[in-house]
Amino acid sequence: MNQTKSSRVEPHETATVQVWDRFLRFFHWTLALCFATAYISGEVHASTLHEWVGYLLCILLAARVYWGFRGGEFARFRSFLFPPGETLAYGRAMLKGNPKHYFGHNPAGALMVFAMFGLLAAIFASGLLTLGTIDFEGPLVFLANRVSDEASYLFGDLHEFLTHAALVLVLLHLVGVLVGSLQHRENLVRAMLTGKKKIPSQFDSNHKNK
């Protein structure tokens, strides 16, 4: 498929390709806002807000998983499933400062996406378990009398630990965005706002994200 097919570009114009669709952009920024809200509300013990934002995050992640199979080319998980060898090669190229260009997620970004999705799922599960077994609320409240007190508080400790682990991933993600923007000379933040990326002037078709 020709990923860069578009109307003719005038000499004074910059060629771009549509990468991130509206749903992906909505998901990305809403996820960031909701995660920050959930974290802060948890720290200040705003339980009701924390609970409802947590439910919203669960819905967002479920919608993204659905879009990963039914969405556009760059949204689908199969578009950024890379073999280990390619991922390692990309990592080495990053360290050397000359990584291959991808329109969609590059191998490092793909690892971050899957790691974050898995971690978020674990955070939501531990949060629902904590809500059900300690606060006697939520869809898992039926477990309240089926697990020990020790297990209940273990769920709570796990939820807190995983949340802090997610913060580490967020920081790594921000570093990756900065490094990627510098190495590829493209504004990745703007791309996630507009959905478009510039087409490199001498772009090798083998660098396209399959």
Q: What is the pLDDT of residues 72-105, one digit of tens each?
A: 999 999 999 999 999 999 999 999 988 998 989 9
CA–CA separation, 100 vs 106, rounded Å?
8
For the segment(s) 16-200, the CATH number from 1.10.10.10, 2.60.40.10, 3.40.47.10, 1.20.950.20 is 1.20.950.20
Q: State the DSSP code for 184.
A: H
Burial 55-73 (b: 16+ CB within 10 A, else e): ebbbebbeebeebbeebeb
32 pLDDT exceeds 50? yes
Task: Give dist(CA 166, CA 4) in Å, integer.
Answer: 35
pLDDT in tens, 91-150: 999 999 889 989 899 999 999 999 999 999 999 999 999 999 999 999 999 998 899 999
pLDDT at 6: 38
Kindly list the domain boundaries of the chain, sorted by start residue: 16-200
pTM value is 0.83
Is 14's pLDDT higher than 90?
A: no
* pLDDT of 10 higher than 50: no
Mean pLDDT value across residues 62-67 = 97
Q: What is the largest CA-CA distance in the chain?
A: 70
